[in-house]
Amino acid sequence: MHSSWIRFSVAGCILTVSTFSTVSTFAQTGPAKVTIAEVVERDLSSGRSFVGTVEPRRHSSIGSAVSGRVIEFLVNEGDRVIKGQPLAKLLTRNLDIQIAAAKAEQELRKHELLELKNGARVEERRESEARMQAAHSAMKLSLTKLARVKGLIERNAATREEIDEVAAVSESATAMHLAAKAAYDLVIAGPRPERIAQAEARVEGAQAEVDRLLDILEKHTIKSPFAGYVVAEHTEEGQWIESGKLIAEVVEVDPIEVRVNVHESYIPRLTIGASARIDIEALPSRTFVGTVIAIVPKGDVKSRTFPVRIELKNPRQSDETPLLKPGMFAKVELPVDQKSQVLLVPKDSLVLGGAQPVVFVAVPNEKTKKMTVHPVSVQLGIAVNSWIEVRGDLKAKDIVVVEGNERLRAGTEIEVSAPSKKSPAPKELSPTVNQAE
């Protein structure tokens, strides 16, 4: 019974394997659908290889503008940050108290200014007007008494002392009326423009003090100046830092740069905008194309070399981290030699990952009259837009597979679905290329 079960299981496994092989063979019998392009020959400045280093586009050592105690350190080395993201916070309790006092002073000055601009209240105006009228009535009464006393003197019915006394009362009442009227006019006219200007200046001074303290408060939160990655920490929570001391370091890596030192003899042949092919030693299966963005106009007097900066996009990995990292070793091919006839193929026709880059060349089968492919090993040269120089067993007008070449093998039958619609090869080439892919 047991041996029969074993024989049955083995037979089942053989049947399963046989079925799978049959299905796989059947699945692979159809021709592979591909997109093709011609190998082109152009007059191009040949390249020369230089050694370089991957560098961040920007590297900022971020310090604190104020002294204080770190109460929060919000990032770690390797963290991705966006522009304006807080990195650390300092203690602000004492500063909060000062800001509250400054805002209270500001409110006081604002209300003083408002009081001046609004002028006297209706009740104050009525009170001033009533006092003026009372003083006017008192003045009229004193003038009437004075006229009566003068009439008595003419009839010798009053003495000189009486008239002097009544005259003094009349003058006093007149003066009081004038004073009351002046006070009323002041109430109606409101405060002088100079007093309002002084009050406005006090409000502005209070506002400036609040702004000054708020600016200091903002400096107690240290922020990232641009998007990038934290590459160094220089403090921790609880630590006291002085003004100007470092908090953290942040680098921008997309786009990223490669810096190479080029000998002075090649500098006259290199221009801004030229394309550069970049090979990263740590990524042998990838080829990158960058653009020369700067030729630093100061060389090293010992080596007679000038720094050249090349910018390129930084691809993302599956975990969204940058593929190219500052400090990586790079080899850069720059178009600095004399012009010569070179062969160009689309970059997408390259199959990387092996000991040497390969392109699949399409050839007709003389017997079946169908198209098959065979691999050709190539060496890479200068990159021009989406095209790249190749050296190998190729000639102009050869047909290479551009899309669908990932799973091809020697002798695989292909079916051309469409010619490549990538950017066409430029008609004329020079050491300067406007835009790298």
Query: For 330-375, how does the pLDDT look when each residue is reduced to its tens digit (9 = 90+)?
Result: 999 998 877 778 889 998 899 887 778 899 999 887 777 788 899 9
CATH superfamily of 32-56+253-419: Efflux pump adaptor protein, beta barrel domain (2.40.30.170)
Residues 223, 229, 234, 239: what is their CA dihedral angle, to the nearest 10 degrees?
Answer: 50
Residue 151 amino acid letter: G
- Determine the pLDDT at residue 104: 96
Q: What is the pLDDT of residues 72-124, one digit of tens each?
A: 999 999 999 999 999 999 999 999 999 999 999 999 999 999 988 888 778 87
**How far is residue 142's CA from residue 228's CA, in Å, rounded to a whole number?**
91
Share of the chain above pLDDT 90, in %: 46
Q: Would you say 308 and 262 are in contact if contact means Cβ atoms under 8 Å apart?
A: yes
Q: What is the pLDDT of residues 199-239, one digit of tens each?
A: 999 999 999 999 999 999 999 999 999 999 999 999 999 99
- Residue 9: pLDDT band (50, 70, 90) is very low
* DSSP-assigned states of every residue in 308-375: EEEEE---B-TTS-BSS-TT-EEEEEEEEEEEEEEEEEEGGG-B-SSSS-EEEEEEE-TTT--EEEEE
Q: Residue 437: helix, strand or coil by DSSP?
A: coil
Q: What is the Cα–Cα distance from 264 to 396, expressed in whole angstroms?
A: 35
Does residue 54 have a pLDDT over 80? yes
Q: What is the predicted pLDDT for the residue at 421? A: 62
* Predicted pLDDT of residue 341: 82
pLDDT confidence of 284, banded at 50, 70, 90?
A: confident
Give the whole-angstrom CA distance, residue 437 versus residue 425: 13
Within a 10 A sphere around the Cβ of 430, how many other Cβ atoms? 14
Both tokens of residue 213? 């303290």
**CA 163 – CA 154 distance, rounded (Å):** 11
**Which pLDDT belongs to residue 436?**
32
Q: Are 358 and 405 in contact (CB under 8 A)?
A: no
Angle, to 10 degrees, between the axis of helix 122-154 and the axis of helix 160-189? Answer: 160
DSSP 177: H
CA–CA gap between residue 20 and residue 251 (Å, rounded): 52
Compute the distance between CA of residue 174 and CA of residue 167 in angstroms, rounded to an integer: 10
Mean pLDDT of 294-308: 95
Counting other chains too, the contacts that 129-135 makes at CB distance below 8 Å and 24 or more residues apart are 129/184, 131/180, 131/183, 131/184, 132/177, 132/180, 132/181, 132/183, 132/184, 134/180, 135/173, 135/176, 135/177, 135/179, 135/180, 135/181
**pLDDT, position 424:** 61
**Any idea which fold 63-91+220-251 has?**
OB fold (Dihydrolipoamide Acetyltransferase, E2P) (2.40.50)
User: 24 forms bridges with which residues in the sheet?
Assistant: none
Dihedral over alpha carbons 11, 13, 14, 15 (to 10 degrees): 90
Q: For residue 193, what pLDDT is reported?
A: 86
CB 344 within 8 A of CB 43: no
